[in-house]
Structure 1
């Protein structure tokens, strides 16, 4: 028994926690920043004001995380985020391919708790900041669950809170709303009619039961469904998370009026459900119930802080490559009307660039303070550019950039701005790539420290057998095929058939911009008369001036069928001139006004298990997967496959890296294949496979005659092995013992 007498004053406990880096905000941006910094040896504290990690991706909001792949609905091939963000996506696919939001919460908590240098505090809200001499020196937080006040002291701070609590309380420069069109020359800048801020959304789940379910709406439910101009788009079959356009709040303060916005969204959600259940328009909804409704809104936009570079529309549409490019994006510029669900505008205005764009390091720190990094949706970007960079996988990727940058600043005693020096920032770019973070149109210098490489065999593309049935050419389709600089495209033979004589037009196209997969440059064209099943040679006259992917396009003709193969290859695929309704209105981007964007066709892959490949034969074999790809410093397919693939008949594929003089080694990082084109959305959508077919699932790694590691259940594209004791090594040998079902593909070995 403990008895406490009456007193005039009581105080909550107080704790002081010191660290190298304090990360505020436990969404994907903050989590990736904290994990990356902790793995670099920094002592990190991650402070999150919610009971779970993940932010809008958590079970509290339940929005799927997406990024540059844009639901595989744009032309950004092999663009999925790498590094820690990629690890999260791949591990979630393995553990949770069904897309259960609660299991995604568990994964994120597990990853945070598994890092020995990372201390996690949940349910802890930051409320005050102390500064001196252009630096944050301390941050104060309060946990209402354990009634404890915290003082956090650190050398560096990362604001990933979404609303920018650290930056705001520290007095850093920030903006809200949209810049005028003439400030940055942004033709997508919205006018007052469209509105200058994005609102919030609340999502819900529905469930079909065995019998009728009565629904009595709450008193605050929306009464007049016609006040929602788009109400006729509502159906009983839509999952509530598909109704992202049930949005509101862009006309008011999206920080301080968040509670008002939440109540309005609850009003909307329950009004919509009342309409579905009780209007008699949807009799099939009689047995349906709502299983879950979000208790907090998913917030899109509030404060954006100012760094030394303000990312703009031109950076995205022109795909500008900055000297300090450290991350990238690829989601469309996706702007929503400020009135949200009550607006007469469409729910969003989306325009894609022709490929991925880079994000400079200078957008990831505050120019007002010397030790404040910015990550997530509060980076230095205009409202228009923010419309693309705000999506969660991009935020997570940028979080890792900040975590690695913080480690370099700590080791070299640099301010955030000093690392942006053109001479110094290369160290960050190289470190990111060495850890598996892809940066478009960049490469890692000497990944294997001068090693020579030999392999047990090599897959050479000669022929793909016609053992996969037939498909009608019912839409425009294209084979994406890589060609090296100086190579001539060989005669390509396809097997086709038709019930009567038909003409098929074939075109050869490529991208004018290196590394893009938008075929905007025509090269050649031919026509073939098809009838009886036969081999039909296709001849294009083309010799490549550089490494590039070619689009061998078959124009639509449903009267002709193409023979298929069951063979699947890494970094070679079929794409289709089609649309993904989640991110585009039609199969061609058309501006319908002067928005300063490009018009072009979308060429999309099909998701597994619906992808197809044509049977083919090449007059001259192509060495798409040569062993020297392992040393070129590229982390994935871009201007070529950049992968080594063994021959089909190789009984034990092996790679050896050799040095004439033994090298000191402390760590080895393998870059393997786990289908960088697969969007791997985190929740709700579900995926057919836990590991993609070309991933090496079982391998052995040897240093001379010493077994360093045997991994039996790999599901990652980036596999880092830290040596407990440094070794001097003459040969590293990798034995590939099993894949997830297809030919293995290896991109690189990075040696530290």
Structure 2
């Protein structure tokens, strides 16, 4: 056995999305970092070995997509990958190689794959000194010393071996009075899953299950117990088993049982199912996973212990370093062995049931303290092993959310080293630095904005060659967003008019001093005139889902003529307001005889929701917007000064500059200072990849809203001089380090081409000396 002894500042164990983002973040901040992973490829559950596609807040919230390192990875994966992406089973090796490529190109980062942690050595009761790990197939044992350790193993292997307190299973209701908690505490956990992939061969393909496969004869097992066949090519999350086995110690038994069940399910689909066996006739199994993806095991107790009440009530934490927005998703213990599948699925995914209402949450902030181990001074964690109750784990466990946690602890580790403070003291002494660094590196925090004193752009006056106006949009409006929806959805939504069975609301960005009138496109198929109550409300941000956020700004009864299809109904308002930026929400109350038409396009930064009951709304349809409306006068919602608002997505306002789409490119945005500034870095944040999850983006996708070709220019000796240029861009965040610093009173960004959109657009500009 060969023994290698190495020393690092940051040691990250676990190379799933959480650990990978932690390691890259620490290394990018200059910390000497090592990443240890026990599989041959990075990605964990998101790798080609397990093939779970990353979920996050954008599954339920418009413009809720996670940014930062996870965004870089997923944007690159879509740009490179020729495969469509689905719910599960479709992740291929392109995804693995995107991560591998980033790891190789990251300075200060060393990594070991196929390497398992065996032992943890402590220098005293509260300090980890080193770990021992075995490199499979290399007869090599690593002895790795470190200053700070980050446990992203999922099963909390490092924390367990270091003697940390951890929890397993479900807390009883009486402990925290969580709505999702069972009456009594339990050791039950959510189960493990494997997935499969099938291909259409274009001709009938027989399948005969082996004798040891599970046999199914009763369609009720699937159709009455919430096990849905939503895809013939890949799936399914509900191929899941945990209880009665332990998800750690019985992992191999679970793997075998899952294989038996997968073959039995495919046998049912191919040979027995009365509804789909004809559709499945030409399909052949291409791949069956043999590495179970885990949902739950140990949860390490940290400086803060999050309960379900925190995400459900959107608690604001002073040490917010990440955000979530998946619903409180707790799978039925036993999975395939239980009487029904996960509760929402067993219900048929209704959006207004009691279970749906109590499970919908976010976007909410995640505190740094729940990522810091209570019992060890130099240990942090990220992933499904963080300091939460079983119920809270239901929402924070999805991979896009855990990736944000990973980047947060990676940045925290590097800052603790730089400032020579213990990780336990980051909350007290350096949390502002962690938050501002995360924002600078492309992350979003719902309750924190750019306050970076080094950012010279915050001191500038901003102007632009032109700015787009918001007029509204109707069913007939051509899609000018070029990529917020695919072609099939554009056609469907342009012709969509749904009855007002629930109160429905459309967010409208304010950008001028008054709102003289609003109009909505409605239909009434009855023989009688119909009335609809219209309400205009001031809302705090695009995720202000309160049905009644305050006193209405205005109310009216709109009259919809009998036998009318797609008529514009006007609402004279003559409303003056004193807000230069922000949102109002136009609600139409319930009248099932009236249909509100969707627009044929998505207006950037404008979303819609409907009343789900108990005083709350939730996102309308799959992307949230846009419903048809017209506003007069048109709103100046994309003014150039939005690029220094401190926020890089629609939130309390649109936070974006968009040029007039009726004017040809090139278009420019300029920053001007009263006195010359010395600038060596210019950071640009562009639009795209925010509205929906990665699942909704096509192969080889490059978001049309994103500038493709642009110059960064400085005003030098009374002429504009190009100091940086980018061609072929499709990424959201670009940091330009100039060849040499320039002293200038003006900087401008000239967008010569986008990836398809008629408007040039920028969320944020930062400048550093």
Q: Hey, what does 2:75 align to over in structure 1?
A: 90
Q: Hey, what does 2:481 align to over in structure 1?
A: none
**Deviation at 1:543?**
5.7
2:606–2:626 contact (8 Å) kept in structure 1 = no
1:504 to 1:195, Cα distance in 2 relative to 1, 3 A: farther
Does 1:322 pair with 2:355? Answer: no
**Deviation at 1:280?**
6.7
Q: Distance in 2 between matches of 1:678 and 1:355?
A: 15
Does 1:301 pair with 2:296? Answer: yes
- Secondary structure in structure 2 of the residue aligned to 1:438: coil
Q: Distance in 1 between matches of 2:589 and 2:288?
A: 46
Q: Hey, what does 1:402 align to over in structure 2?
A: 409
Does 1:142 pair with 2:134? Answer: yes
Deviations 1:71-114 (A, max 9, x none): xxx3x221111111111122222222623522111211111112
Q: Distance in 2 between matches of 1:430 and 1:354?
A: 25
TM-score w.r.t. the length of structure 1 is 0.87
1:248–1:340 contact (8 Å) kept in structure 2 = yes
Does 1:600 pair with 2:616? Answer: yes
- Secondary structure in structure 2 of the residue aligned to 1:490: strand
- Secondary structure in structure 2 of the residue aligned to 1:417: helix
Q: Hey, what does 1:641 align to over in structure 2?
A: 654
- Secondary structure in structure 2 of the residue aligned to 1:635: coil
2:499–2:594 contact (8 Å) kept in structure 1 = no
1:412 to 1:346, Cα distance in 2 relative to 1, 3 A: same
Q: Hey, what does 1:37 align to over in structure 2?
A: 26
Tell me whether 15-24 or 212-221 shows the greater mean CA deviation.
212-221
**Deviation at 1:515?**
5.1
1:144 to 1:466, Cα distance in 2 relative to 1, 3 A: closer
- Secondary structure in structure 1 of the residue aligned to 2:365: strand
Does 1:536 pair with 2:529? Answer: no
Q: Hey, what does 1:121 align to over in structure 2?
A: 112
**Deviation at 1:257?**
1.3
Tell me whether 122-131 or 442-451 shows the greater mean CA deviation.
442-451
Q: Hey, what does 2:394 align to over in structure 1?
A: 387
1:504 to 1:151, Cα distance in 2 relative to 1, 3 A: farther
Does 1:164 pair with 2:156? Answer: yes
Q: Hey, what does 1:9 align to over in structure 2?
A: none
Q: Distance in 2 between matches of 1:541 and 1:526?
A: 16
Q: Hey, what does 2:373 align to over in structure 1?
A: 366
1:25–1:159 contact (8 Å) kept in structure 2 = yes
1:466 to 1:374, Cα distance in 2 relative to 1, 3 A: closer
Does 1:107 pair with 2:91? Answer: no
- Which of 671, 675, 693 is 1:657 aligned to? 671
- Secondary structure in structure 2 of the residue aligned to 1:445: coil
**Deviation at 1:60?**
0.8
Q: Distance in 2 between matches of 1:345 and 1:118?
A: 45
Q: Distance in 2 between matches of 1:175 and 1:672?
A: 42
Q: Hey, what does 1:628 align to over in structure 2?
A: 641
Q: Distance in 2 between matches of 1:723 and 1:123?
A: 39
Does 1:238 pair with 2:231? Answer: yes
Residues 463-612 of structure 1: pairs in structure 2 closer than 5 A: 467-468=476-477, 471=495, 473-476=497-500, 478-483=505-510, 487-494=513-520, 502-503=529-530, 505=532, 507-508=534-535, 510=537, 514=541, 516-521=543-548, 523=552, 524-530=555-561, 531=564, 536-540=569-573, 548-554=582-588, 568-573=602-607, 575=608, 577=610, 588=612, 600-606=616-622
Q: Distance in 2 between matches of 1:511 and 1:318?
A: 20
Q: Distance in 1 between matches of 2:230 and 2:410?
A: 42
**Deviation at 1:435?**
1.5
1:721 to 1:393, Cα distance in 2 relative to 1, 3 A: same
Q: Hey, what does 1:695 align to over in structure 2?
A: 706
**Deviation at 1:559?**
7.7
2:509–2:653 contact (8 Å) kept in structure 1 = yes
Q: Hey, what does 1:258 align to over in structure 2?
A: 251
2:648–2:764 contact (8 Å) kept in structure 1 = yes
Q: Hey, what does 2:485 align to over in structure 1?
A: none
Q: Distance in 2 between matches of 1:703 and 1:39?
A: 28
Tell me whether 650-659 or 26-35 shows the greater mean CA deviation.
650-659
Q: Distance in 2 between matches of 1:532 and 1:45?
A: 63
1:459–1:646 contact (8 Å) kept in structure 2 = yes
Number of residues of Structure 1 aligned to a counterpart in Structure 2: 711
**Deviation at 1:602?**
2.8
Structure 2, gaps ≥5 residues long = 86-90, 345-355, 479-493
Deviations 1:161-200 (A, max 9, x none): 1111111111122111112222223121124699731111
1:631 to 1:332, Cα distance in 2 relative to 1, 3 A: same
Q: Hey, what does 1:223 align to over in structure 2?
A: 215
1:673 to 1:136, Cα distance in 2 relative to 1, 3 A: same
- Secondary structure in structure 2 of the residue aligned to 1:537: strand
- Secondary structure in structure 2 of the residue aligned to 1:376: coil
Structure 1, gaps ≥5 residues long = 1-11, 578-586, 590-597
- Secondary structure in structure 2 of the residue aligned to 1:153: strand
**Deviation at 1:403?**
1.1
**Deviation at 1:419?**
0.6
Q: Distance in 1 between matches of 2:605 and 2:107?
A: 37
1:613 to 1:187, Cα distance in 2 relative to 1, 3 A: closer
Q: Hey, what does 2:241 align to over in structure 1?
A: 248
1:18–1:152 contact (8 Å) kept in structure 2 = yes
1:29–1:400 contact (8 Å) kept in structure 2 = yes
Tell me whether 229-238 or 117-126 shows the greater mean CA deviation.
229-238
**Deviation at 1:53?**
0.8
1:690 to 1:138, Cα distance in 2 relative to 1, 3 A: same
- Which of 245, 266, 269 is 1:273 aligned to? 266
Q: Distance in 2 between matches of 1:352 and 1:205?
A: 30
1:541 to 1:363, Cα distance in 2 relative to 1, 3 A: farther
TM-score w.r.t. the length of structure 2 is 0.85
Q: Distance in 1 between matches of 2:199 and 2:699?
A: 22
- Which of 418, 426, 437 is 1:419 aligned to? 426
Does 1:730 pair with 2:756? Answer: no
- Secondary structure in structure 1 of the residue aligned to 2:149: strand
1:740 to 1:214, Cα distance in 2 relative to 1, 3 A: same
**Deviation at 1:461?**
2.7
- Which of 43, 47, 57 is 1:68 aligned to? 57
**Deviation at 1:708?**
2.9
Tell me whether 32-41 or 546-555 shows the greater mean CA deviation.
546-555
Does 1:459 pair with 2:468? Answer: yes
- Secondary structure in structure 2 of the residue aligned to 1:299: coil
Residues 22-33 of structure 1: pairs in structure 2 closer than 5 A: 22-33=11-22
2:305–2:389 contact (8 Å) kept in structure 1 = yes
2:558–2:569 contact (8 Å) kept in structure 1 = no
1:29 to 1:707, Cα distance in 2 relative to 1, 3 A: same
Q: Hey, what does 2:335 align to over in structure 1?
A: 340
**Deviation at 1:511?**
7.4
Q: Distance in 2 between matches of 1:242 and 1:502?
A: 48
Cα root mean square deviation, aligned: 3.1
Tell me whether 731-740 or 56-65 shows the greater mean CA deviation.
731-740
1:208–1:287 contact (8 Å) kept in structure 2 = yes
**Deviation at 1:549?**
2.7
**Deviation at 1:735?**
0.6
- Which of 50, 62, 72 is 1:77 aligned to? 62
Q: Hey, what does 1:200 align to over in structure 2?
A: 192
